[in-house]
Structure 1
Amino acid sequence: MATEIKPENEETAGAPEGEQWVALPTADFEQMIQKAARAAVAEYKKQEEKDRKQNKYHNTFMLMKCYRDAAFHIENAISDGEQLELAGMTDEQQRTYLESIRRSRFKTLIMTAHIDKAVEEIERRRKAADREVEYKAFEMYFMQGMDYAKIAEELDTGNSTPRRWITAIINELSVLLWGMDEDKIR
């Protein structure tokens, strides 16, 4: 790669102080651009993978935070016309409204059943490994709505221990709920 540093002349006279011009053969310049482009694409893919992993964790965490509300919805959704007077609505409007609630309730029922199976597997694994206290912390946080400090106090652990246990379970639960990315297998 041949480079030439040009001294200041009339071409570089307007450039900021200390700036120099470098002359490169076109092939070297194109090679440098391609190398920079490959590096940028590699960095983009790396960031994309990191974001995908964080999104999976975030989605699992938020799903578990909403679990109790979803269970409430299943038990209490008004999906029968006899449960509620829909005054001022036509029969068609009532039918549409009730069908919408039924669909929502059914989708929630399927998702909570999927969550229940995955959580049962987490509990089974923790019991088999004699680490039931980790599952207990998970259950206290998501099913009972306790905060980390209260869990640490109840389980007589360090303050950051419940968060660590719950994070590990959420990571494991993410795979059980969403499956694996093909990139992870390679």
Structure 2
Amino acid sequence: MSVDPPLDELHPTTPLREVALEVEAHVGEDGWDQPARLYALVPTVDLIAREPALAEQLGVDGEDDHGSLTSVEQDLPQDRDLEELLGAIEWPDAVTGCAVVVERVMLPPGAEEDLPTDPTALIEAVVAHPERREVRLVAAVLRDGGRHSIVRARTPEGAELLEGPDLVPGLLDSLHGTLT
């Protein structure tokens, strides 16, 4: 009998992984069918130094939090395409990284071969596909190139998270482009 190792063994705990998991849990509390959400990632010690009153609210003392990151949600206009928005964002130097959360429909490998090229017909085909899966994607990146991604399926309820540094490479690349 084979037992899968815990996720912590497959994906060592890092500040980036921890903040990505926190963001996924936070967004998950609001349920499904949400618009894209964007977060600046800042060093917790820097945030507490600038805003000492936040320490209690965040449940940190600042001494044991060297290396940890805090996510700060950004307002996104809902009338613009996410890819277009990411192409226009430039973060200030105080932002160490960023994360985005989006919901998408994924199809199994090979399903793309039979999809129409017309955009309207494509949407209809994806929505009607019997093997489609609705997922929540979290992509998080750091200026130094660190990456972490998380995928959670909508069904079954309580589905296990998939994690890795490159589960959504295009989204991670676009997000990293906002930091350079």
TM above 0.5, yes or no, is: no
Higher strand share: 2
Larger Rg: 1 or 2? 1
Larger % of helix: which? 1
TM-score interval, smaller chain: under 0.3
Bigger RCO (CA 8 Å, 6+ sep) = 2
